[in-house]
């Protein structure tokens, strides 16, 4: 038996997970959803989803996942194209989107 309230909760949970997955802070997600940040933390825990730790340096985590040869490639691409990492990531996302 599904109610409109249950449907609304499901959609809100979906949005919380989606926003968390793109790396937004719990505070930012709470502003978008319209609730307190602790509500976001509670919902993620209830859903079994780990909150992104935006206190850590994002790129440190990314670099740690790359092999040395991949790290060297990345540095070379950034230097060659005179880009910073943010510009490079935005460009990658736009390129991937345009491939659709």
pTM of the model: 0.65
- Same domain, yes or no: 43 and 72: no
| Residues in Cβ contact with 88 at an 8 Å cutoff, skipping those fewer than 6 apart | 74, 77, 78, 81
Planar angle of CA 1, 8, 47, nearest 5 degrees? 85
How far is the C-alpha of 2 from the C-alpha of 63, rounded, in Å? 45
Interval 42-93: pLDDT, tens? 999 999 999 987 776 778 888 889 999 999 999 999 999 998 888 999 999 9
Q: Decide if 18 is inside a domain.
A: yes
- Same domain, yes or no: 17 and 42: yes
What residue numbers bound the domain in which 12 lies?
Answer: 4-47
Q: Decide if 26 is inside a domain.
A: yes
pLDDT tier at 4, thresholds 50, 70, 90: low
Number of domains composing the chain: 2
Would you mind telling me the total number of residues written for the chain in this entry?
100
Q: Decide if 16 is inside a domain.
A: yes
Cβ neighbours around 16 below 10 Å, total: 25
Q: Decide if 86 is inside a domain.
A: yes
- Same domain, yes or no: 63 and 93: yes
Q: Decide if 53 is inside a domain.
A: no
- Same domain, yes or no: 42 and 75: no
Q: Decide if 67 is inside a domain.
A: yes
Q: Decide if 52 is inside a domain.
A: no
Q: Decide if 84 is inside a domain.
A: yes
């Amino acid at each position: 038996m599904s109610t409109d309230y249950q449907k609304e909760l499901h959609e809100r949970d979906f949005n919380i997970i989606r926003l968390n997955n793109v790396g937004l802070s719990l505070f930012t997600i709470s502003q978008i959803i319209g609730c307190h940040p602790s509500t976001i933390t509670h919902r993620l825990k209830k859903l079994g989803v780990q909150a992104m730790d935006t206190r850590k340096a994002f790129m440190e985590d990314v670099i740690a996942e790359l092999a040395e040869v991949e790290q060297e490639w990345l540095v070379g691409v950034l230097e060659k194209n005179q880009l910073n990492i943010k510009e490079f990531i935005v460009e990658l996302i736009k390129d991937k989107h345009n491939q659709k």
